[in-house]
Amino acid sequence: MEALLTSTFLTALLYGVVTAGLPLLLAGLGEQISEKAGVLNIGIEGMMLAGAYAGFAVALGAHSLWLGFMAGALAGAAVASLMALFCIRYGMNQIVIGIALTLGAEGLTALLHHFQFARTRPSLGKAPDFSIPLLSDIPVLGSALFTHNPVVYLGVALVPALAWLFKHSAVGLNLQAAGDKPGALDASGVSVTMTRTGAVLATGAFAGLGGAYMSEVGAGLFVPFMTGGAGFIGIVLAMLARGRPLWVLYGALLFGVSLALTTALQIGGFNIPTDVVQMLPFFMVMLVLVIFARHSVLPPALGLPYVRGER
């Protein structure tokens, strides 16, 4: 047990928390934008996976992590554009289309992986970290929290940015109106379709970036189904956070801790089944729900297509 308390272990663990939590943070923040606007984006798992594949493939081919990240975000947004087309434009059931997109992204990326990478199994080297001056010199915490890929800082910076956007910008008002009373937004001369489409595309880009981070930084390679439900956890984080970005961050950290602990325990050769650790965050979320369950405050128009003139 002593090994648990060494500073190197702690540093590694905290570092792992951030690495594991970031994709969840991005997915959760992205999903939050969609949900605010009244779209339940079940396809986010597929968007992450598309981002993970595209990010890795481009980073590998172009020898540029940054191009990879951009490709990941674009791929996520591309899948999201189908969601927008079918669910917002055509008013189709958001759950069916979301599942279809997830299945499609799973199938397509697994196929592409099979034909491109399965034999040679290429991988990217360890992604370079960027140390924040001064902060990274803090013992233990410095190299755990302030020595990361810049995407991590971007992701964390998005939390206050979104909080500001939701509260103090026209975009934020539009999103909230689109989810609460789309007819009111329409009457104000703002297109509900465009607002929701923008929200869904942003979700796709966030999720895609999160996926790209998983493959490019987290794993250094692409494996079929590698997102392993991260998108679904993102959905849950967004629903629990009820429109508050900071809560998504808390939730992502909670799940990040459990994922990092799982890895750390495996490496450390401890005899606690990792599944128990994996269960913990889900268990805690359920516990929170059971104890604090009230009427969930979700946007009233969540999941419903908007047809002008129908109420």
Partner 1 sequence: MSEASTPAISLKGVTKRFPGVVANDAITLDFFSGEIHALLGENGAGKSTLIGLLAGMQQPDEGSFELFGRPARILSPRDSLDRGIGTVFQHVLLVPSLSVLENLMLGGSWWRPLGREGALRTFGELAAMLGVTIDPDAPVGRLELGQQQQVEIIRALWRDAKVLILDEPTSMLTPQGVEDLGRVMRRLKEGGVAVIFITHKLREAYAFGDRISVLRLGRLVGAVPPERLERMSELEVTDEVIRLMFGQDKSYGDMAETLLGRGHRGRLNPVNRSGRPLLELVDVSTAAEMGECALKSLSLALWPGEVVGIAGVDGNGQKHLAEVLAGQRPVASGRMLIEEVDVTTEGVGARRRRGLSYITDERLGEGTVSSMSVATNLVLKEVGRPPLWRSGVTLWERIHESAREQIVRHDIRTPSERTPLGRLSGGNIQKVLLARELGEAMRIAVFNKPTYGLDLQNTNLARQRIRESAARGMATLVISTELDELFELADRIAVMFQGRLVGIVENSGEDEERIGRMMTGAAA
Partner 2 sequence: MSAEGLPAAVLRVGLPILLAFAAGALILLALGKNPLDYYAFVFRRGLLSWAGLQETITRSAPLLLIAAGLIVAFRAGIWNLGVDGQFLLAAVVCAAVAPWLIGFLPRWLTLVSSLIVAALVGASWSLVPALLKARYGVNEIITTLMMSFLGISLANVLIKAAFWDPATTVPQTRTLPVASRLPRLFDTTIHFGIVIAVVAILFVHFVMTRTAFGLKLRIVGANPHAAVHAGLPMAPLTFATFALSAALIGMGGAIEILGVHGTVRADWNPAYGLLVIPLVFLARFNGLGSIVFVLFFAALQIGGESAARRLDVPHYYVLLLVSLVLLFLAIVEYLDQQSSRRRVAA
Q: Which stretches of the chain bind partner 1, using CB under 8 A?
A: 168-171, 173-174, 176-177, 180-181, 183-191, 308-309, 311
Closest CB to partner 2 among residues 61, 229:
229
Q: What are phi and psi of 271, to 5 degrees?
A: -95, 20
Q: What is the H or E stretch that residue 148 is in? A: strand 147-148
* Residue count (the chain): 311
Q: Greatest CA separation found in the chain? A: 67
Minimum distance of partner 1 from residue 188's CB (angstroms)? 4
Q: How many CA atoms lie within 13 A of 262 on its CB side?
A: 15
From partner 1, partner 2, none, interface partner of 176 (C-beta below 5 to 8 A by class): partner 1
At its nearest, how many Å lie between partner 1 and the CB of residue 33? 14
Alpha helices in 191-244 (DSSP H): 192-213, 230-241
Q: 182 near 299, Cβ under 8 Å?
A: no
The only residue of 240, 241, 254, 265 in contact with partner 2, by rule CB under 8 A: 240
185 binds, among partner 1, partner 2, none (CB under 5 to 8 A by kind): partner 1
Query: Is 80 near partner 2 (CB under 8 A)?
Result: no
For tokens 């590698």, name the residue. 226
Q: Dihedral angle at the C-alpha atoms of 217, 64, 143, 273, nearest 10 degrees?
A: 10
CB of 187 to partner 1, least distance (A): 4
- The CB-of-236 to partner 2 minimum distance in angstroms stands at 5
- Is 298 a binder of partner 2 (CB under 8 A)? yes
CB atoms within 10 A of CB 304: 16
* Residues contacting 151, CB < 8 A, separation 6+: 22, 69, 209, 213, 217
Q: Is 27 in the site for partner 2 (CB under 8 A)?
A: no
User: Interacting stretch for partner 2, rule CB under 8 A, among 66-74, 153-161, 201-209, 280-288?
Assistant: 280-288
Instruction: Name the residues that contact partner 2, by CB under 8 A.
Output: 40, 42, 82, 86, 90, 92-93, 95-97, 99-108, 110-111, 114-115, 224, 229, 232-233, 235-236, 239-240, 273, 275-276, 278-279, 282-283, 285-286, 289-290, 293-296, 298
